[in-house]
Amino acid sequence: MNIMLILIAVMAAAAVVLVMLGSRGALREVEIDDRSYQDPLPAPLRMMWPLVTVATRFIAPRMKTAQFEQTHRRLQAAGQDYLLTSEEFYGLKAVSALLAFAFFSLCLLMLGKLSLGSGFMALAFGGLLGWLYPEIWLNDRRKLRQRSVVRDLPIFLDFITMAVEAGLNITGAIEQAVSKGPAGPLSQEFSRMLRDLRAGLPRAEALKRMAERMDIPQISNFTSSLIQADKVGANLSDTLRAQANQRREERFLRAEKLALEAPVKMMLPLVMFFFPLIFLFIGYFIYLKMIQEGIL
């Protein structure tokens, strides 16, 4: 019996080693993409990037072009289009699903509950959770980016307005706003727009591309006002001043709305967690008093 156990352990260890060596050889065969023009990968994503590359080469030919275009627009709106391509995003979803399934299976194995039924549940639940997690991450990044843009937009509009009133054209005013304004997603998008202008793109087209990339109503309103002012020959300083005042007023109204919503959002935690504790605390002392008085 001892010899059989030792033999099984040796065979299992050999199988693990062979799988590791085979995976290492397969990963070496994968072409390494040139990421010199892209943003650096975060540490967790850098560790699993070879698997993402393999999954991308397998999944990308089987996906539709419309799906890639839609995903690319979502990556642009979240500011992650220089981190991931749409093809790599689907590869990341596949690897995330596989890792989540492996994690749940390992937990079941350590608990001694791994069976055919539990393995199927781990595949269904873990695979679904892992597949959806990149979507959740992308939506969170988009919401954070939108909040940052809406917060910084009045500041940039003030800088642009002052520069235009000082005698600069709109391109020079945006350059001054980028150099003097706060760093963030809005500054990056204005910088990309300036690069499009230097590449020879018309200003109206560069503004439209920026609005399409960001997909934020405030930015779309701002770019449409600039394009319309250019077409009709209106005073840019008046247009920009009106935009700055409107964006600032919207920010104050949004803050007031959130402040009014706070008491309503606090009701559920109060009713579920805070009030029961208060009732238990008061009821305990009432119970002690009734015992002292001989009522109970």
Could you tell me if 149 and 219 are in contact, meaning their C-beta atoms sit under 8 angstroms apart? Answer: yes
CATH class entry, domain 147-252: mainly alpha
pLDDT of residue 111: 77
pLDDT of residue 21: 57
| DSSP characters over 42-107 | PHHHHHTHHHHHHHHHHHGGGS-HHHHHHHHHHHHHHT-TTT--HHHHHHHHHHHHHHHHHHHHHH
**Cα 209 to Cα 249: distance, rounded to the nearest angstrom:** 26
Query: Nearest 10 degrees: CA dihedral of 102, 80, 39, 180?
Result: -150
Strand ranges (DSSP E) for the chain?
none
Per-10-residue mean pLDDT of the chain, 296 residues long, equals 58 55 54 64 78 81 81 84 83 86 80 76 82 89 88 84 81 84 85 86 85 84 82 75 80 81 81 82 83 76
> What amino acid is encoded at 233 in this protein?
G
Evaluate if pTM is beyond 0.85: no
For the CA atoms of the chain, what is the radius of gyration?
29
Where do we find the tokens 């990339």? 213
Could you tell me if 247 and 151 are in contact, meaning their C-beta atoms sit under 8 angstroms apart? Answer: no
**Cα 277 to Cα 273: distance, rounded to the nearest angstrom:** 7
**Cα 61 to Cα 87: distance, rounded to the nearest angstrom:** 9
Residues 6+ apart with CB under 8 A from 204: 227, 230
Query: Nearest 10 degrees: CA dihedral of 102, 103, 107, 110?
Result: 60
In tens, the pLDDT along 99-154 reads 888 888 888 777 777 777 777 787 788 888 888 888 898 899 898 888 888 888 88
* Residue 8 Cα to chain centre, angstroms: 46
Residues 6+ apart with CB under 8 A from 259: none
pLDDT of residue 32: 56
pLDDT of residue 31: 55
